[in-house]
Amino acid sequence: MQNADTTKYIIHSKISADGIIERPDIVGAIFGQTEGLLGSDLDLRDLQKTGRIGRIEVVVNAKGGKTKGTILIPSSLDKVETSILAASLETIDRVGPCSAKIEISHIEDVRATKRHQIIERAKFIFKGMFDENLPESQEIADEVRQSVRVEEMQYYGKNKIPCGPTVFDSDAIIVVEGRADVLNLLKYGIKNTICVGGTNVPPEVAEFTRKKDTVTAFTDGDRGGELIIKELVQVANIDYIARAPDGKSVEDLVQKEIVRSLRQKVPVEQVIDKYVSNDQPSSADDGRKQRISKRKERRPSPAADAKRISPAAVKRNAREPRRNKRKQDSREKQPNGNKQSDARKTETPKSKVPVSPENKRFKNHANDLIGTFSARFLDGGDNVVNETAVRDLVSTLKAYEDEVKTVVFDGVVTQRILDIAADKGIERLIGAKVGSVTKRPASVKVLTAASL
C-alpha cells in the first residue's frame, strides 16, 4: 500500500453511471480498462505494488436508478506521469453492466497544502508562543503612570461614578462625559473631574454640582457633546463651558490641547440662548443667578483695581479733565457750537441700521428656532410649509418643489445656501448670523435674527 508520507499529488475525479454500481465495480473497471493502455511503466497494478500509487478511494451514492460519486487516487509520480494517469481514467466508459463517465475535476498538490498549513501554524507560533519583547523605558514609564491613574481614580455615590481624587474637596470641578475622559485628565495632573456617563446625567452628579462654587462642563467636539451640555445646563449648575476641538474626544487630547480648551472656556451666560429653550424651569435660572452674583462678589473691588494702576496711567487720568475742559471751551466759542453738538447727539449711529417693519413679522419664527438647529420654510402668506434640520437644509432646499418665499433657520448663512435660494426664487434668508459671503444676489434679502 502507498505510504502517505511519499504522496505528492491526489487525483480528484467524478463518476456518474446510468445504473446501480458499487465501489468494487468501479475499482475493477479502473484496473481492467487501463491495463496495457499506457505500457508497463504506467500499469496501475505494478505502480500500486511498488507503492507509487496509493489506495484508490471511492465514494458513491445511488439515487433514482443512477449512481454518482467521487474517486481519489494518491500518486507519488511526477507531474507528467500523474497527468497521463489522470487522463487515462477518462477513457473508461462502462462500469459493470452500466455505461459510465469519469471526469477529472482537479489535481491537488499535497506539498502546497502542507506549505499552507506550515505558514498558518508558523503565524500562530510567532504571535502566541514567543515571549513578548521587553518594553522600552518610555513604555515602562507610561505603564506605571497608567496603573497609578487607575489607582488614583475614585468613585462617587451609590452608583460608583468615576471621578478624580480631589473632586470632593475642590471648590472648582470639571464635568466630563465618560470614565476614559477622567483617566486622560488624570494623566496630565487634572484631578478635580467627574463624569456623567452619557446624555442621561445621574441625579447624584446634578446635585453634586450645586455644592461647588465653579463648575466647568468639558465635552467632546461633536453632536453628542453638545447634547450633554444642553442637558447639564437644564439639570445641573454649570458656570463655564469648554469644548474639545471639532471632531475630537476629550479622551484623545494631549496636554497642550486640554490646556488650550480649558483656557478658552466661556461663561454659560454668554451662550445660554444656544443651549437653553424658553421653557427651561425657573429653578435652574435662579441657581445660576445666585452663582453669578457670587462670582461678582469675588471680583476685586474698584479700590483694589486702582492700586494696580501704574503711575503713568495715574498721570494720564489726571490730565484728562483738563484736556476735556479745553475742548469744551473751544466748542463754546463757536457760534453754532451747541447746534452742532445737538445734531451729533441726534445723529443715528451707522452701525445701527433700521430694520424694515415688514421684516419684524419674522421675529417670532427666529425666536422659536433659537437653539434648535432647525429651519422653517414660509410661503408667500408667511405660513410654515416645511421644517427640517439645519444640517439637511442644503439637500432639502435643492429637492423642494413647492413655493418658498422665506427661510428662517438657526444657523449660518453661507454662500452655498444663498446661491440655492436665488435659484429657487426665495426672497429672504434669515439666519443666526452671516458667514463668509462674497456674492449677494439682488433678489435675496439676507437678515439675521438679532436684527429683527
For the chain, the first-to-last Cα distance in angstroms comes to 99
The mean pLDDT value for 235-256 works out to 90
Per-residue pLDDT at 332: 52
The C-alpha atoms of residue 212 and residue 288 are separated, in whole angstroms, by 12
Question: What is the distance between the alpha carbons of residues 284 and 305, in angstroms, rounded to a whole number?
Answer: 33
Contacts of 423 (CB under 8 A, 6+ apart): none
**Bridge-based pairing state of the strands 406-409 and 428-431:** parallel
Other CB atoms within 10 Å distance of the CB of residue 367: 13
pLDDT of residue 242: 93
**What Cα–Cα distance (Å) separates residue 434 from each residue in 87, 410, 448?**
81, 11, 7
Place of cell 451640555: 229
pTM of the model: 0.36
Residue 36 C-alpha cell reads as: 496495457
Single-letter amino acid code for the residue at 10: I
pLDDT digits (tens, 9 = 90+) for 176-206: 999 899 988 988 889 899 999 877 888 899 8
C-alpha cell at 410: 438657526
Sign of CA dihedral 439, 444, 449, 452: positive
Asked if 373 contacts 390 with a C-beta cutoff of 8 angstroms, the reply is yes
* For residues 39-58, average pLDDT: 88
What pLDDT, on a 0 to 100 scale, did the predictor assign at position 452?
Answer: 80
How large is the C-alpha radius of gyration of the chain?
43
Instruction: Give the mean pLDDT of 141-165.
Output: 76
- Rounded Cα distance between 170 and 234, Å, is 23
What domains does the chain contain, in order, with CATH numbers? Answer: 4-112 (3.30.70.3250), 145-294 (3.40.1360.10), 357-451 (3.40.140.20)
Side chain identity at residue 93, one-letter code = D
Determine which helix (DSSP H) or strand (DSSP E) holds 8, and give its type and residue range.
none
**Mean residue pLDDT across the chain:** 80
Contact present, 107 and 11 (Cβ < 8 Å): yes
Render pLDDT for 405-422 as a digit per residue (tens, 0 to 9): 999 999 889 888 999 999
Q: Poorest-confidence range of 212-216, 252-256, 283-287?
A: 283-287
Using alpha carbons, list the distances in angstroms from residue 64 to 21, 48, 67, 68, 217.
13, 35, 8, 11, 77
Mean pLDDT of the region 237-243? 90
Query: 334-352: per-residue pLDDT in tens?
Result: 544 444 444 444 443 433 4
For residue 2, the Cα-to-chain-centroid distance in whole angstroms is: 61
Q: What is the rounded average pLDDT of the residues 380-398? A: 89
Q: Has residue 307 got a pLDDT over 80?
A: no
> What is the distance, to the nearest Å, from the Cα of residue 101 to the centroid of all Cα atoms in its chain?
60
The residue behind cell 487607575 is 150
Residue 135's pLDDT is what? 59
Task: Identify the pLDDT of residue 11.
Answer: 94
Residue with cell 496495457: 36
